[in-house]
Amino acid sequence: MDQFLKIHSNHWREMLADVTIRAPIEACGLVAGQNNRSTKVYPLTNELQSPVRFQIAASEQIDAFMEIERNGWDLLAIYHSHPTGPDRPSETDLAEFAYPETLYLIWHFANQSWDCKAFRITENGDVEVPIQLING
């Protein structure tokens, strides 16, 4: 496993726009890539339309997974926002994680701005993984 997640600056901006537009509802989506480097962001529907929980629309998730597989990419991360929640995985996030090889990006709103942290979630809890923003 690489020691950090490399996210293209345009993908970072795409996720930032998504979480900003959807607030106060939790935004959610996927990040695909290769060699721990992002290649595409998939903003997806939160079926729960909740400010404190998310559930990715199953049909959209399947479509994204199929495109990821067709392109030979990996599912690098699942992102969602905590408009009023913590800057790390919540108890619900820890209890419901389903992809142990995938990072979880938590976008959180504090001090009038959004920030994002990456975590690897395991049965024993979570570990923060550094994010490196890249251009080109």
- 3-state helix, strand, coil split of the chain in percent (to 5) is 25, 40, 35
Annotated active-site residue 60? The verdict is no
State the DSSP H helix or E strand holding residue 38, giving kind and residue range, or none if neither: strand 37-44
Which member of 26, 60, 67, 101 is catalytic?
A: 26
How far is residue 107's CA from residue 19's CA, in Å, rounded to a whole number?
A: 7
* Catalytic residue list: 26
